[in-house]
Amino acid sequence: MNNVTKFNNLKIKIFADGADLKSIEALNIQAYIKGFTTNPTLMRKSGITDYKKFALEVLKIVKNKPISFEIFSDDINEMEQQAMEIFSWGTNVNVKIPITNTKGLSTVGLIKKLSSRKVACNVTAIFTLNQLNEVIKILALETPAILSIFAGRIADLGIDPVNIMSDAVKLAKIKPKSNILWASTREVLNIFQAEQAGCQIITVPYDILKKLSNVGRDLKKSSLETVSMFYKDAKASGFTIKTKK
């Protein structure tokens, strides 16, 4: 991609978010991609039916960058078993644990237990600072953790997530090995917003990563290209409007 070297100057780490093996392989060789995330929904969209087989195939490609795989049980005890199994797959694996199960039961107790066992958790689906604070308090001081706040989905609710993310970064400072991740990225601008908010990580889907080559382009030139696109599409569609002479 052109212009991606600009992203090497950012403090924030860009993680690629997806479940397509070819894309993962292509992105893994890019220096500006610092890690990977995925989830069961993305895997289903990619037609994956064997979870562990897919994960092990990914780990053959991604050997030196962190990657997150998510548990999918709704039972707390089974969640623990899945987490330990997933963590055993590789030294670069982060285990994604949702902040609650589908019944709204908190997983903070499970996260505390895993963190005390030095399991690197990626706590996902966080929406509120109260949820975040509960997790931060119980993390083991020496165990790395990723705290994924769904900034994009917060914005979808009509709430500006920037202040929430800034406050989250401040709260997490008491656990220096924890990292705030800007999740559910919607546009390239979010990368710069996350950087300004102090987030350590942003996870970016493949379709947005493709747009990075546009960063820094001249606005006037972009305006002309947009006008040209409208014109060509109108011509190609055969549109006509009868006008009075």
Residue 17: how many other CB atoms lie within 10 Å = 22
Q: Report the Cα–Cα distance between both ends of the chain, in Å, rounded.
A: 50
Asked about 96 being catalytic, the answer comes back as yes
Q: Is 129 exposed, middle or buried (0-12, 13-18, 19+ CB in 10 A)?
A: middle
Q: Give the active site residue among 13, 22, 60, 96.
A: 96
Q: Scanning the structure block, which residue is given the tokens 């403090």? A: 11
Nearest alpha carbon to residue 96 among 57, 133, 125, 62: 125
> At a CB cut-off of 8 Å and minimum separation 6, what does 220 contact?
none
Cα distance between residue 114 and residue 235, in whole Å: 61
Q: Indicate which residues carry an active-site annotation.
A: 96
